[in-house]
Amino acid sequence: MDKYKTKMTINKWFSYISLEKLSETSRQVIGQFNRYSKKLTFKKVLKLFLYAINDETDSLRHLDQQLVNPKLKKV
């Protein structure tokens, strides 16, 4: 799947997730996560995991390798 279809797919999936409708406790935990991590917000982590699901990535180590070298395909 090319990067544009992947990006559109992830954005479409993410559009169905309404973080505003979560419970107050969940929003507080997400707020603490965002406060703790400066650059990697909860939304970015969620999109990263959606990318991994879409690409059927085997492990976090493989996901890391794919992000460092995008031309790397599954063996």
Q: What is the pLDDT of residues 39-72, one digit of tens each?
A: 888 888 888 888 888 888 888 888 888 888 767 6
Domain ranges of the chain: 1-14+38-74
Long-range contact pairs involving 6-12 (C-beta distance under 8 Å, separation at least 24)? 6/51, 6/54, 6/55, 9/54, 10/47, 10/50, 10/51, 10/54
pLDDT of residue 7: 75
User: Which tens digit of pLDDT belongs to each residue from 1-33?
Assistant: 466 677 788 888 888 888 888 899 999 998 888
Listed residue (41, 40, 17) closest to 31, CA to CA: 41
pLDDT of residue 57: 85
- Whether the model pTM is above 0.75: no
